[in-house]
Amino acid sequence: MAKILIFSVLAHSFFCITIAFGPIPLQDLCVADPTSSTRLNGLPCKDPAAVKADDFFFSGLHVPGNTKNPYGAALTSMTVAQVPGLNTLGLSLARLDLDPNGFVPPHSHPRATEILTVLQGSLEVGFITSYPDNKHLSKVLNQGDAFVVPVGLLHYQRNVGKGNTVVLAAENSQNAGINVVPKGIFGAKPAINSDYLARAFLLNKISWNSSRLSSRDD
């Protein structure tokens, strides 16, 4: 009986190992083909014979983004949309520019963990753990500092320095996705019931309408 039990445990362990997921690509490259009508988790692969060096190239991270907006912030993205060679590789990059007092509203990335590295200036970054703890963890970063934001958690960034702040953000997804709380909630189409939102956010109707009008102006 003991031998049978040991055999069952070993067999179960072996079975679990054989079905474990490995994110390693099964070919050297899979350059995205945005013209294909095929639908899958990612983009179909371009014919390898048609692949060129420019499929893996991006230029522009040295150029400051346009921060002339209500947030005083700009994002220059390097995802699979800009670099087809990132397809299936689980990686993307972005430059974040913030004016003095510039900020990024609370948001989350449903498909990626993020690493933020400050290249210039000072940045406060924070995230909030999930219910029921809702613990707020934040840190002020200076040039050369880095901070990790776990996948899916609400987080924010704001410039707390006297000058411009420049940040390099890396994510372990070719398309991390983003859910911006104010725009998602108050800018939903069709609109979410205003009475419900006022109650959910513990607001009166007047302040809710003001927030909604502000989000439409962005």
Binding-site residue set for oxalate: 109, 114
DSSP 1-50: -HHHHHHHHHHHHHHHHHT------SSS---B-TT----BSB-PBPPGGG
Cα(first)–Cα(last) distance of the chain, in Å? 70
Could you tell me which residues are annotated as the binding site for Mn(2+)?
107, 109, 114, 155
Known binding residues are 107, 109, 114, 155
**Residue type for position 139:** K
Residues with Cβ within 8 Å of 62's Cβ and at least 6 positions away in sequence, in order, are none
Strands 165-171 and 114-120: antiparallel
Q: Is the peptide bond before 132 cis (omega within 30 degrees of 0)?
A: yes
